[in-house]
Structure 1
Amino acid sequence: MADDLELRRLAARVVMGAFEGLELPAWTADLLADGLGSLCLFGSNVESPEQLAALTAAIRAVAPDVLLATDEEGGDVTRLHMRTGNPHPGNAALGSADDVDLTSAVATAIGAELRAAGIDLDLAPVVDVNSNPHNPVIGVRSFGADAALVARHSAAYVSGLQAAGVAACVKHWPGHGDTALDSHLAMPTVDAPLEVLRARELVPFAAAVEAGTLAVMTSHVLLPAIDPDAPATLSPAVVRLLREDLGFDGLLVSDALDMKGASGGRGEPAAAVLAVAAGCDLLCLGADKELGVHEAVIGALVAAVQDGTLPEARLREAAGRVSALSARLRAGAGEPVPHPDPEVDTKAARRGVRVTGSFPPVQGAVVLRFVTGTNIAVGEVPWGLPADADALRGGAQVDVAETDAVEPLLPRAEGAPLVALVREPHRRPWVERALHALAAARPDLVVVELGWPGPEPLPGAAVVHSYGASLSNAAAVAAVLAEGVAG
């Protein structure tokens, strides 16, 4: 058996750590010097492109071979643009446009931006088939509800991102789309037969593996047809399905272990041991962690090897995969960064917009923005129509909360067009009720849905679906509203 120092370095190698703040803390630098394999940067670590580039350079000065990762999915989930809003459209808009060349080009643009910032592992794309419209955490992060569509765009995204020299990490294996719970808060179950899983959930992952994805991220989802006892991250059976049936031999990354679906009732150190034993190679700890969390996880892995709970060979294999991906990315670090079409985000977002009904141009509208919050994966990111949108010239944007009555707002829109901005009202009964009340009073109501479409049509003279709330999505909506669209 390896000595204590070597075991600690092996354990540190399989940890994807995190810290809070815009500069590298001394304790994080010490962990990097001791062999920490990866760091994931979150919104709290990013203030500007210049600051981020300086931070990643400081990290690499301590540990040149560290894997620097982030969640830059495009669309609603962004880390580089949490303060300003994301310029890139997300997966649902790309799936709506259904042009694989556009998807690949957007992914390359994201990859080029990450590469310039010093990031080399993107925890994207989401390749879940969002078959449940009430899904609280996937939604517009998915390319769509059809497995074949999701598969072709997953492959295109992987190819485009990796063409920029950034490793893709497709998620959330083996599928988080048919869930009604958020694995940040609970452990969801996909209670579908294996033949359904093979025909639906696994299809995009197979396409991504075929396209050469360098990494895959597990989900904290229970799939009784494969393993009735353990969520995917902690399940050897689920990992075997990926390795043996799909033939994936790259890096397997866990979703964040601080999520309840993984650590609920057992804690992060115990979840870490189970995840590596199951076949995960790199353990994402989650955002803004302190030294003690890292030490507890590393210590638990060392202790598990020493007491025989975790085979040393499995820990070595995991650490070896981390090092192999790092070496591969370092070997390509000198290759030129591609120069994507600067208009690709605008083109893709506009192509993804869908309109039902008809309406005249709505310049000077009263725009009611229904504020419903987001899930943990998205966080607090600016959203809404751009300040210079024609619909807001001479009009007003009014935020509406659950405690607000909509009837008193109607006089403000007298003589002016009325637009409602919503995100997934089918999951929020109070918004649905408000929209029906508005449509009854104002049959010319225009509803702009910036989230995942619900199973029932929304009320109003026209409904605009943008399939995301990024800056490019919002600009595409503003253009449609300015033009007016005939149904």
Structure 2
Amino acid sequence: MTVAGEVERAALTVLQPGFEGTVPPDWVRRALADGLGGVLLFARNVAGPAGTAALVAALREESPGAVVAIDEEGGSVTRLEAAGGSSWPGNLALGVVGDETLTRRVGRQIGRMVGAAGITLDYAPVVDVNADPRNPVIGVRSFGSDPDEVSRHSAAWIEGFQSAGVAACAKHFPGHGDTVIDSHLELPTVRASRDVLERRDLPPFRASIAAGVRAVMCGHLRVPALDDEPATLSRAIVTGLLREELGFDGLVVTDAIEMQAVAALHDPGEIAVRALVAGVDVVCVGVSSAQGESVYALRDAIVRAVREGRLPEERLAEAAGRVHELAAWYAERAGDRAGAAAGAVEGLGLATAAAALRVADPAGGLRPAEAVETPVLEAAPLVVRLYGWRSQAVGRATPLTLAEALAEHLPGTAGVEVGPGDAPPDLAALAGPGRPLVVAVHDAGRHEWMRRLLDEAVRARPDTVVVETGVPGPPCGRVYLATHGASTASARAAARWLTGRHAG
């Protein structure tokens, strides 16, 4: 027979809410005492390395086995380094460099950084194959568009990261790369056949499982070749495909349930119940009410589903058990996390970003920029940044801009930002003939207005230097430099190359 309160505790164990502030609110402390399995940290909770470590320590005072999770991918998606931008270039840069040993080293160093804060689980890496260059939410977060390369780098990153004693999470199952819709905003549909999924999207997840990844995150995706339900809520996908066919026996988590891909279909309690029935173990809730009422409402919805027979009690117990298993795995690896700060490799992020730089050659292809030693800029330029819509996955991250990075080497560098709908800048007035012009873009191939303004700038100033920080498109300008990343590390690497500081 069930012990009174056991179902209630288990229902809290499978929830992972976010909260406001840099200290645990009273409701979080109470919920942890009541059985809450863990929390999810965002940039809003981070107050430098010492502050974050103190926050995590305070959480563990309430519950030593709490699973503390974070989204720390490196590159454009960072929480620990949100205030100044990531010191790592991101996955696409690693894929472009193509050195699995380097990817493993970078994974390990990010693991050391996360481990130094006492965090249990990192929702990284993205192992989606970026099959559609128009993808608005994956892009440079992916290791690339080739399934074999993505598989190799996913496995290497996971091996390196988990060697630092922190759990990694492969996402977004069964693959978010072939979409043109962001699941934060609405439900994307992947229309590939099962055969294409098997050849293109599933190999990186198979490789991640073989590498020993401790968790897998399901994407809020509709994949008709597998099921009409969103993957997060699909027993055919979570249990049938991920568990039974791919053989994954670790922790399965949802993407945040307030994302409109699923929030537009069901209320939060229904999403949580359906996900658990499908085979998910942890329900991530990015936004919680000020006093935690929403978290307890989710608990009550889960308990009610058990009482009504919709959610088997054994399934809830299994999910809660996997949360405890992950906490035990983390506890056993304290030795791997010892001396994390002392083991950091200074300059590895910048060196990696520099190795990923590519410059257009006369034939229109891209070649390693490190082979070109002539400075492109010798005077302070005007940098016109064309920026598009910012994915919610990026959150509050504020990386160094290219203009700021160039100003570190060329004082007097000026920057102008132009968004969709803004009037184009008067280049003749802003940048006279003696002043170099740099146009910085991100995923220009996805934005018609950005391509149009870029073309106008190059026609007006054929000597324009173009820097693409996203997925490269057709080269243009006197010099076309692709960074394959939108981070502080990538901006600094680009600035060093453009000013000749990379040589020697």
> Could you say whether these structures have the same fold, taking a TM-score greater than 0.5 normalized by the shorter chain as the test?
yes
Query: Do structure 1's residue 278 and structure 2's residue 278 form an aligned pair?
Result: yes
Equivalent in the alignment of 1:149: 149
CA RMSD, Structure 1 to Structure 2 (Å): 1.8
- Which segment is superposed worse, 397-406 or 263-272? 397-406
Pair 1:288–1:431, CA change in 2 (3 A) = farther
Instruction: Give 1:388 shift.
Output: 5.2
- Which residue of structure 2 aligns with residue 314 of structure 1? 315
CA deviation after TM superposition for structure 1 residue 386, in Å:
6.2
CA-CA distance at 1:408 after TM superposition:
1.3
1:71–1:122 Cα contact (<8 Å) kept: yes
CA displacement at 1:435 relative to structure 2: 0.4
Verify: 1:345 aligned to 2:349, yes or no.
Answer: yes
Q: Distance in 2 between matches of 1:7 and 1:288?
A: 22
Consecutive unaligned residues of structure 2, counting only runs of 5 or more, are 363-373
**Offset of 1:161 from its aligned partner?**
0.5
- Does 2:441 align with 1:422? yes
SS of residue in 2 equivalent to 1:463: strand
How far the C-alpha of 1:452 sits from its partner, in A, is: 1.9
SS of 1:167 mapped into structure 2 = coil
- Alignment-derived partner of residue 260 in structure 2: 260
Residue pair 1:406, 1:438 contacting (<8 A) in 2 also: no
Residue 381 of structure 1 and its aligned partner are, at CA, apart by 2.2
Bigger mean CA offset, 210-219 vs 381-390? 381-390
Letter in 2 for 1:464: L
Shift of 1:251: 0.6
- Partner of 1:182: helix, strand, or coil? coil
- 1:355 equivalent in alignment to 2:356: no
Using the TM superposition, name which of 401-410 and 464-473 deviates more: 401-410
Q: Counterpart of 2:109 in structure 1: which amino acid?
A: A
AA matched with 2:492:
A
Greater Cα shift, 329-338 or 12-21: 329-338
Unaligned runs of 5+ in 1: none
Q: Is the 8 A contact 1:366 1:392 kept in 2?
A: no
The question of whether the paired residues in 2 share the 8 Å contact of 1:258 and 1:285 is answered with: yes
Q: Residues 173-212 of structure 1: matches in 2 within 5 Å?
A: 173-212=173-212
1:74 to partner: Cα distance? 0.4
Percent identical across equivalent pairs? 46
Deviates more, 1:352-361 or 1:163-172: 352-361
Query: What are the equivalent positions in structure 2 for 1:33-44 lying under 5 Å apart?
Result: 33-44=33-44
Moved more, 101-110 or 355-364: 355-364
Between the aligned partners of 2:390 and 2:123, the Cα distance in structure 1 is 19
Cα distance, 1:4 vs structure 2: 4.6
- The range that moved more, 8-17 or 398-407, is 398-407
- Corresponding residue of 2:368: none
In 2, distance between residues paired with 1:123 and 1:232? Answer: 17
Q: 1:404, CA displacement in angstroms? A: 3.5
Contact 1:15 1:283 in 2 (8 A): yes
Q: Does 1:448 align with 2:464?
A: no
Question: Given that residues 403 and 413 in structure 2 are in contact (C-alpha distance below 8 angstroms), is that contact kept between their aligned partners in structure 1?
Answer: no
How far is 1:429 from its partner?
A: 1.7
Contact kept in structure 2, 1:44 and 1:288, CA below 8 Å: no
Specify the SS of the correspondent of 2:208: helix
Counterpart in 2 of 1:468? 485
Aligned length: 483
Shift of 1:403: 3.9
Contact 2:288/2:294, CA 8 A, preserved across alignment:
no
CA–CA separation in structure 1 for the residues paired with 2:375 and 2:501 = 5
SS in 1 for 2:35: coil
Stretch moving more, 50-59 or 355-364: 355-364
After superposition, where does 1:70-149 map in structure 2 within 5 Å? 70-149=70-149
- Judging changes above 3 Å, is the alpha-carbon distance between structure 1 residues 327 and 301 closer, same or farther for their aligned structure 2 residues? same
CA distance in 2, matches of 1:249, 1:388: 45
Post-superposition CA distance 1:389-418 (Å, at most 9, x none)? 266423311222334433513332111111
